Amino acid sequence: MNRLFVYGSLTPNKKNFYILKNISGLWQKAFTFGFIKKIIIAKDTIYDAIVLNPNGNKINGYLFTSYSLKNYWSKIDNFEGQYYYRTIANVYLRNKNLIQAYIYSFNLKHK
């Protein structure tokens, strides 16, 4: 798959955008549905993690499409770490077209 939906620190101009910024591709505003859970990694380090749910809240973010992503999945997986896992989600573009993309979702093993 060559699509990734990002909603937190990986979005353009956010703290961890450096992970994706040098990968060529197309960025589009998009959204999915779920709930945001706050993950406390350390005293001063809090990140958002999505729990996907079609009946949840609208979560705005970006769809990143790049044929080069296949060369970076391992690096991104390692960056996301134990609190997240990569899964396929339904993502809606601004025109409300539905597509599927990878997303890093909250790893329920870390409740």
What is the CATH classification number for the domain harbouring 82?
3.10.490.10
Residue 104 has a pLDDT of: 95
User: Cβ(66)–Cβ(25) under 8 Å?
Assistant: yes
The C-alpha atoms of residue 39 and residue 86 are separated, in whole angstroms, by 16
Residues in a beta bridge with 102? 4, 88
Residue 111 has a pLDDT of: 52
The C-alpha atoms of residue 86 and residue 84 are separated, in whole angstroms, by 7
Could you tell me the pTM of the whole model? 0.90
Looking at the structure of the chain, the number of domains it has is 1
Helix (H, G, I), strand (E, B) or coil at 79: helix
The C-alpha atoms of residue 8 and residue 61 are separated, in whole angstroms, by 7
Residue 71 lies in domain: 3-110
Mean pLDDT by groups of 10 residues along the chain of 111 residues:
93 93 96 90 79 95 97 95 92 94 84 52
Residue at 99: amino acid letter: I
Residues 6+ apart with CB under 8 A from 53: 33, 34, 35
Residue 33 has a pLDDT of: 97
User: Cβ(106)–Cβ(8) under 8 Å?
Assistant: no
Burial category of 81 from C-beta neighbours within 10 Å (exposed 0-12, middle 13-18, buried 19 and up): middle
